[in-house]
Structure 1
């Protein structure tokens, strides 16, 4: 320590330059380092979501989750433990790994075994949704989408297909499916009594739809100097056309789909609703990924909303309901204020007990420089500016 003091007295300009460099790089680090409430918590967990519509929880557990868990333990490395839950039409499997496990490699192994296990599952099972779980992925903003002239299904379509794809372009933002409204698709309501009367089954109806509602590649056709692209499209353009699809012929009589069923726009029973003033609305939750900054994600969403508004149907409004950036700013501001008060009180104590303005100036400059040096060190170490790191400083 004494040697450092001697060098500082012999080479004062060197330490002045070092102080200036600390000031420059410290301020740069304070501006560019991600700012959040808590540090990034990296938990090596991968979640796998199996979907099989209509399958009971007991069957989901015994016929899907059971075999999948056995396959995971035989092919995936570094598993600490596995948690699973079976629900109506859903099976959720969480795979916890040993600390330090590379989540990307683990996710690749899980994806491979998920593809190979499908043949052992009930007919019609589809590949699962595989997600990397991160404790730092928390909601940072909630949006309300409303339009008094649109139905719930159309409003859901606007939020899901127009707003959501544009907002996910913000770095570090993740948006799950919207809440409220209802996804719309073509529904075939079959009458069992009419099926029996025409000696048909639900499989016959499904086969007729699959064979007559298709698009086949037909290639091209050269005629003289022209090359025509041939299009073979048997998909009905209107929903009512489905009702006129033939199912079978008995003598000269033809049984159409309308004779045993009714085709219309519909959807699954609505599981959640968002009401504003008695009218249906949509709520969209914006989440941040683990490495992103809450402030940057919220700022990016706010900057993008005015650009999205002109592309929406007339009368559609997008309102911000909650914003976590205010809490982050207040938390960081409180900690910084305490740091400034501590520096002032320390300088005041030196001035009162030593009576030296020079010593007071040294303390008043060394404390901020030490903090800026620590902030630069946090950035180099890949840490963020949060309540815990600032509290430690």
Structure 2
């Protein structure tokens, strides 16, 4: 028995099945995730390395070409493309579809780690980044403070007070704070002092490197417990740096770094400025976990920020620069409205041409019934409502009308 014949001969059964599908579809709709883009992971990994002050030719010879050879040896690599510009090397590593990018990215990190000592000392550690459409920031804030805060102090405050609370929210993967001011301890060595103490600059560098390190010191058994012992030697303040012993005088007295150099607590040279509402500020970017509902996560973040802001010292202002949840709701609303208007116009035109309410009624019932039952398939397959699925539903309305007429 075919479906049309079954529907005509078993009207009650067919009606009950349709009602059940509608109820299940509406329940599935309430549980569908809402995203701007589908959870699509392109088989591409980027390797980004910066080397300030280097020309594009130097970048290509010392960083790009060696890294190309390193990443090409990773299993599953299909193609490697690169771009060398002043101060930056970018490699795009393309894998075969179906490759697990988590493992692939880790393999690249491992291979680069083995070769890291052969790269220029002043070059940054290569950053390995996967590209995933669903990992775009959910919420983007610009943050400013009164004149009593530098952007470095503001960044530290946000990292200490705001970031941990946001990362504890359900569905939040990370909260990252960006600022242009980066702290730097600058040591300006007096050449004449070096000569008078008969010291070499390399000796000073080795002394600083040897002091600024934490060293494991083995294990100690205490009351049937194995305790790990570490010697903590990393610098915690500027005074720790000033009081580093860099040598001994002829009389056997220690020579401190402060005796031969001026130690300044300052900031690195900045080549860009972050401005929020015509003031220097910092940026706060919140990313969600894969599969989390963007709208729910975005609303939870905004609610938590509104609770945190009054508790912060000083005049700290949060400006919402980008809200993906709001964009998704707007796109979903417009898509639904367009689909509804299109369906109504199609029904009206069909009635005007056919001049018969029976086939018109069949078509008008088939459209919402088919769309609602589609939500069951979307939920069962683990898909979300996004630009792709909403666009597909809108196109499906037209196909439903065509099929119903035929």
TM-score (normalised: structure 2): 0.79
Taking structure 1 as reference, are residues 133 and 258 closer, same or farther at Cα in structure 2, changes over 3 Å only?
same
Instruction: Tell me which of 104, 107, 119 is aligned to 2:105.
Output: 107
- 1:23 corresponds to 2:26: no
Matched residue, 2:403: none
Q: Distance in 2 between matches of 1:329 and 1:255?
A: 66
Alpha-carbon distance, 1:155 to partner:
0.5
How many Å apart are 1:44 and its aligned residue? 0.8
**TM-score normalized by the length of structure 1:** 0.81
Q: 2: distance between equivalents of 1:66 and 1:173?
A: 34
| Aligned residue number for residue 14 of structure 1 | 13
TM-aligned CA deviation for residue 132 of structure 1? 0.8
Equivalent residues of 2:246, 2:255 under 8 A apart: yes
Aligned residues: 387
Q: Deviations over 1:12-55 (max 9, x none)?
A: 23222221222123223333333344444432111123356666
Across the aligned residues of Structure 1 and Structure 2, the Cα RMSD in angstroms comes to 3.7
Contact 2:142 2:276 in 1 (8 A): no
State the shift of 1:61 in Å: 2.6
Residues 168 and 57 of structure 1: is their aligned pair in 2 closer, same or farther, counting only changes over 3 Å? farther
What's 2:399 paired with? none
Unaligned stretches of 5+ residues in structure 1: 223-227
Q: Which residue is 1:332 aligned to? A: 332
5 Å matches for 1:176-187?
176-180=176-180, 182-187=181-186
Q: Closer, same or farther in 2 for the Cα pair 1:334/1:52, shift >3 Å?
A: closer
1:282, CA displacement in angstroms? 1.3
Which residue is 2:402 aligned to? Answer: none
Alpha-carbon spacing, 1:236–1:127, altered in 2? closer, same or farther (3 Å): closer
Alpha-carbon contact 1:46-1:133 (below 8 Å) kept? yes
* 1:282-301 aligned within 5 A: 282-287=282-287, 293-301=293-301
Contact 2:186 2:263 in 1 (8 A): yes
Measure how far apart 1:99 and its partner are.
3.4
Q: Deviations over 1:71-112 (max 9, x none)?
A: 222333242332243542x53322012334332342233233
Match of 1:390? 393
Seen in structure 2, the aligned counterparts of structure 1 residues 80 and 13 have a Cα distance that, compared at 3 Å, is farther
Structure 1 contact 39–388 (Cα < 8 Å) conserved? no
Distance in 1 of aligned mates of 2:215 and 2:41: 47
Report if the CA contact (8 A) 1:140-1:288 is conserved: yes
Deviation at 1:125, TM superposition (A): 7.2
Deviation, 1:189, is 2.5
What secondary structure, in the 3-state scheme, does the structure 2 residue paired with 1:150 have? coil
Counterpart CA distance in 2 for 1:217 and 1:17 is 71
Distance in 1 between residues matched to 2:94 and 2:214, nearest whole Å = 43
Partner Cα separation in structure 1 for residue 358 and residue 314 of structure 2: 67
Task: Judge which range, 109-118 or 185-194, deviates more.
Answer: 185-194
C-alpha displacement of 1:308: 3.5
Deviations 1:168-204 (A, max 9, x none): 4552655554144x23243323334433443323322
Using a 3 Å threshold, how does the CA distance of structure 1 residues 289 and 156 change in structure 2: closer, same or farther? same
Partners of 1:172 and 1:229 lie apart in 2 by: 33
**Alpha-carbon displacement from aligned partner over 1:134-169 (angstroms, at most 9, x marks no partner):** 245434432122221322210121234443344345
1:225 equivalent in structure 2: none
Q: How much has 1:298 moved relative to structure 2?
A: 1.9
Match of 2:94 in 1: 96
